[in-house]
């Protein structure tokens, strides 16, 4: 296969900026983009990628023989159907999270992958676009903290109400806070513990601060367990305005011989910049500035499209993350303004 060519369908979430930039940095070219209407991220997309043409119909991309990979960041409730359509058109797919919003849609994607042999990959940006995760993975692989037995993942986000589209406040359209944000932390739990499967021990969602938006879940938590370890996840929309970034994302990895903590986006009242990694074990306590670590997901996905391999992320792992997120969402206790 010659140089990888991609097309973009759905510019409804700003995550598409990272998805496309990552593939361009990996050597791909973009043939064009399509989205329904003119959602808010379009302006930023055009500013970042002025040379990528907009096409009139998404079929122009789906049926273009030059295009190998479709990048999706449509409204979450539409992503499954868009992915199935693309795979039946002979394209591999990289989608924003969540990859789908119901278990039925996930089963349709599984069946399509089985029928077509295409790749369905979710860009879990809190791992794949965060250099700190690369450094933490290296330390874990070296045995720096022994055997991983637990992860604690915190995913606070800023609401930015004024910029949010209508679908952001409708549960059936965004999928719920656990389906959406917590899929990141489930991905990291499975990855760092080396787990192929897990059970949702308990989960809850709540609306405590936004009674005028009953469809919004502004808080969520999950307790999960596998045969390799346990995990706790908390996600929310409470990032205060004084924080100089959109969220203070953290991941603590507990091992039998030490701990690693990632402060992904900010070190409050500490070092400037992003991608702070702290290691403590029996021999040392050490800080790493991981901001220059090389990201690997996009190059590996490009190779997977070319070689029909699974080096970026196994298809089984991708399915399992969404299965667990959807199960946690479905069984979650409802708290605050969601009660009753």
CATH number reported for the structural domain that contains residue 83 in this entry: 3.40.50.720
The CATH number that applies at residue 224 is: 3.30.360.10
Q: Are 143 and 281 in contact (CB under 8 A)?
A: no
Residue 166 per-residue DSSP state: G
Q: Is the pLDDT of residue 135 over 90?
A: yes
75 lies in the same domain as 62: yes
The domain of 20 spans 5-123
Residue 330: per-residue pLDDT: 98
- In this structure, are 188 and 66 located in the same domain? no
Same domain, 101 and 118: yes
Residues 58 and 185 in one domain: no
For residue 70, the 8-state DSSP code is: E
Share of the chain above pLDDT 70, in %: 99
Nearest to 118 by CA among 301, 320, 322: 301
pLDDT at 1 over 70: no
Single pTM value for the model: 0.96
Q: What mean pLDDT comes out for the span 132-138?
A: 97
Whole-number Å distance between alpha carbons of 230 and 151: 7
Total structural domains in the chain?
2
Q: For residues 226-234, give the mean pLDDT.
A: 98
Q: What's the pLDDT tens digit per position in 56-97?
A: 999 999 999 999 999 999 999 999 999 999 999 999 999 999
Q: Are residues 242 and 152 in the same domain?
A: yes
Answer yes or no: do 58 and 161 share one domain: no
Last residue of a domain, one of 89, 123, 157: 123
**Domain closes at, from 123, 152, 185:** 123
Same domain, 181 and 157: yes
Element (H, E) at 258: strand 258-263
Task: Indicate if the pLDDT at residue 44 is higher than 80.
Answer: yes
Place of tokens 């021990």: 201
State pLDDT tens for residues 257-294. Answer: 999 999 999 999 999 999 999 999 999 999 999 999 99
Residue at which a domain ends, from 123, 148, 168: 123
Q: Is 145 helix (H, G, I), strand (E, B) or coil?
A: coil
* Overall average pLDDT of the 228-255 stretch: 97
Task: Report the pLDDT value the prediction gives residue 340, as an integer from 0 to 100.
Answer: 64
Same domain (yes/no): 191, 332: yes
What's the chain's average pLDDT?
97
């Amino acid at each position: 296969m010659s140089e990888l060519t991609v097309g973009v369908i759905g510019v409804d979430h700003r995550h598409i900026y990272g998805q496309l930039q990552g593939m361009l940095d990996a050597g791909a070219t973009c043939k064009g983009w399509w989205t329904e209407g003119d959602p808010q991220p379009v302006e930023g997309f055009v500013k970042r990628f002025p040379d990528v043409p907009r096409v009139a119909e998404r079929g122009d991309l789906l049926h273009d023989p030059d295009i190998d990979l479709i990048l999706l960041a449509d409204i979450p409730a539409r992503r499954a159907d868009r992915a199935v359509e693309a795979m039946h058109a002979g394209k591999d797919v990289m989608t924003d999270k969540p990859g789908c919003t119901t278990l039925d849609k996930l089963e349709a994607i599984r069946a399509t992958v089985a029928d077509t042999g295409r790749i369905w990959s979710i860009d879990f940006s809190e791992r794949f676009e965060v250099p700190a995760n690369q450094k933490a993975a290296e330390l874990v692989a070296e045995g720096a903290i022994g055997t991983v037995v637990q992860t604690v993942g915190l995913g606070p986000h800023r609401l930015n109400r004024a910029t949010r589209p209508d679908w952001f406040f409708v549960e059936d359209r965004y999928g719920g806070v656990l389906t959406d944000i917590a899929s990141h932390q489930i991905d990291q739990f499975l990855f760092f513990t080396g787990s192929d499967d897990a059970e949702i021990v308990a989960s809850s969602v709540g609306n405590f601060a936004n009674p005028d938006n009953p469809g919004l879940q502004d808080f969520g938590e999950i307790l999960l367990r596998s045969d390799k370890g346990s995990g706790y996840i908390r996600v929310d929309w409470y990032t205060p305005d004084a924080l100089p970034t959109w969220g203070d994302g953290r991941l603590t990895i507990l091992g039998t011989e030490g701990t690693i903590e990632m402060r992904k986006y900010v070190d409050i009242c500490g070092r400037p910049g992003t991608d702070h990694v702290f290691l403590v074990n029996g021999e040392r306590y050490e800080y790493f500035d991981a901001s220059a670590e090389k990201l690997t997901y996009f190059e590996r996905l490009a190779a997977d499209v070319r070689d029909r391999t699974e080096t970026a992320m196994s298809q089984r792992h991708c399915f399992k993350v969404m299965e667990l997120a959807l199960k946690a969402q479905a069984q979650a206790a409802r708290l605050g303004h969601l009660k009753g």
